[in-house]
């Protein structure tokens, strides 16, 4: 992992050391703004006050989803799953998100396949995971910390099981390896369901911003809300 090659979609290849600081959505930084190149992304206004959140010392993570983009945007890394048949499409999507989000935040966001994301990397950054949980090695290894159970190509929200076609979920929790950083998960039944989840003009777009989690099936948001944070380090589904 000492030298990972990041091939950007438009022009050139950048060689970055995995330990360098990265340059680096509608509501939500990915909500969609047609004045942005390609008309795909909205620049969430709160990004302009990033410095307010970059205070020194320990911080208490509170969510919601968008908070990950306001706190330490220079410490964001995207990790995509490689365990499925559509890993190529997921990789290209992760690179697109990296480029457009990085432009919005004025920080380069490095991209890694799950096979190259080691414990040291996870400890040092807020991690954005893309792909079905069981097809992303990092997500699979951390799933015991998740507020939801993923099984049989579906997800359990308490006693409720969702397994309809084209379900997608976005949720945020504290990073289990570093409680000063977040873990943001974009997942679904298949990698194909995850691709486009941030893009307003894509059928898979899932509106997410001011809650801790969002679950969509097809074009509909079927559930969203906030976690029980009685334990500040391990959030759970509110009962």
Q: What is the pLDDT of residue 222?
A: 96
Q: Is residue 116 included in any domain, yes or no?
A: yes
| Structural domain boundaries enclosing 103 | 64-232
Non-local CB neighbours of 125 within 8 Å, separated by 6+ positions: 22, 75, 76, 77, 181
pLDDT in tens, 33-69: 444 444 344 444 344 444 444 444 567 899 999 999 9
Q: Is residue 23 one of the residues assigned to a domain?
A: no
Diameter over CA atoms, the chain: 50
Is residue 224 classed exposed, middle or buried when 0-12, 13-18 and 19+ CB atoms within 10 A define those classes? buried
User: Which regions of the chain are under pLDDT 50?
Assistant: 1-27, 32-56
Residue 152 pLDDT: 87
Query: Does residue 178 form part of some domain?
Result: yes
Average pLDDT, the chain: 82
Angular region, 163: left φ>0, alpha ψ -120 to 50, beta rest: alpha
Report the distance separating Cα 101 and Cα 106, nearest Å: 8
In a domain, 57, yes or no: no
Would 82 be classed as within a structural domain? yes
Specify the residue for token string 């570093």.
178
Number of domains in the chain: 1
| Spatial distance between the Cα atoms of 179 and 232, rounded to a whole number of angstroms | 9
The number of C-alpha atoms within 13 Å of 153 and in the hemisphere containing its C-beta is: 10
Residue 130 lies in a domain: yes
Placement of tokens 């992304």 in the chain: 41
Question: Is residue 52 included in any domain, yes or no?
Answer: no
CATH number of the domain that residue 97 is part of: 3.30.379.10
Residue 76 lies in a domain: yes
């Amino acid at each position: 992992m000492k030298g990972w090659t990041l091939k950007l979609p438009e022009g050139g290849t950048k060689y970055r050391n995995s330990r360098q600081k990265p340059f680096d959505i509608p509501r939500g930084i990915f909500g969609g703004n047609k004045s942005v190149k390609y008309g795909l992304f909205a620049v969430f206004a709160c990004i302009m006050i990033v410095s307010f959140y970059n205070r020194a010392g320990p911080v208490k993570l509170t969510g919601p989803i968008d908070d990950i983009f306001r706190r330490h945007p220079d410490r964001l890394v995207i990790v995509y799953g490689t365990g499925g048949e559509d890993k190529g499409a997921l990789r290209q999507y992760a690179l697109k998100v990296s480029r457009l989000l990085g432009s919005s935040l004025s920080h380069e966001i490095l991209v890694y396949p799950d096979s190259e994301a080691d414990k040291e990397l996870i400890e040092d950054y807020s991690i954005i995971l893309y792909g079905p949980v069981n097809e992303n090695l990092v997500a699979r290894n951390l799933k015991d910390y998740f507020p939801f159970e993923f099984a049989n190509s579906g997800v359990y929200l308490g006693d409720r099981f969702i397994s309809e076609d084209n379900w997608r979920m976005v949720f945020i929790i504290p990073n289990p390896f570093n409680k000063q950083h977040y873990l943001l998960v974009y997942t679904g039944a298949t990698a194909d369901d995850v691709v486009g989840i941030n893009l307003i003009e894509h059928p898979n777009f899932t509106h997410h911003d001011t809650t801790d989690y969002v679950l969509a099936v097809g074009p509909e948001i079927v559930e969203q809300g906030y976690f029980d944070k009685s334990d500040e380090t391990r959030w759970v589904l509110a009962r």
